[in-house]
Amino acid sequence: MNDVEPETHEAADSPVQQIVRRALNLLLHPAETWDAIEAEPDSIERLFRYWVMPLAAIPAVGQMLGRISFGSFQIFGIRFYHPSFLWAVGNAIAYYALTLVSVYLLALVIDHFAPQFGGERSRTQAFKVAAYSGTAFWVAGAFLLLPTAGGLFSLLGMGYSLYLLYLGLPKLMRSAPVFTLNYFFLTLLAAVVMAVVIGSLTHRAGDFGGPIVID
């Protein structure tokens, strides 16, 4: 079985190549990649700019294009539902902006509660967990271009991102193994609350363009 190229070559790669290699390593070899992430020096600003911002744009753009292209159905030649262009764009912008905010807020939750589960507080390490654990979900967002299968792939990506979160929390925050599940479920609860808020706000934000056009 061929392994993904070692991450020691990343310095010679372009930013896009670095993102692709790190994403592949994280998806295919999560445990080893979390070890590498835990040990490497990094900053919240760099992670936000070169990891979160480009990857979080994938589901926002994929969903926007999917809605514009396939967001309608017809009966006897009458198109009953079709999102307006402005609604789709407004929804995507709001979703993207709120996703960026939610990653930072999730990092605050991870950092704040680390001592409660035998871990060590570190804002940078907490941000690494929040940023890198979303990788599978964001990459799967490319499939939202598809009208039916996109939702399934997105759901699978979400499930794998939860697995990444489960692996990354104890490694980077150094929490006690006996508290791993409790720490994970608390973080998951915070993520679910943020997802509900994002869904509600993005729906409202898109309304400025008018949600439906009936021809």
Q: What is the pLDDT of residues 58-95, one digit of tens each?
A: 999 988 888 777 655 444 444 445 567 777 788 888 88
* Cβ contact 191:132 at 8 Å: no
Domain count, the chain: 1
**pTM for this model (two decimals):** 0.82
- Of residues 9 and 129, the one with the higher pLDDT is 129
- 103 within domain boundaries: yes
Q: pLDDT category, 154, cuts 50, 70, 90?
A: confident
- 4 within domain boundaries: no
- 3 within domain boundaries: no
As a residue count, the chain comes to 215
Structural domain of 168: 9-209
pLDDT value at position 211?
41
Buried b (16+ CB within 10 A) or exposed e, 183-215: bbebbeebbeebeeebeeebeebbeebebeeee
Phi-psi region of 42 (alpha: psi -120 to 50; beta: other; left: phi over 0): beta
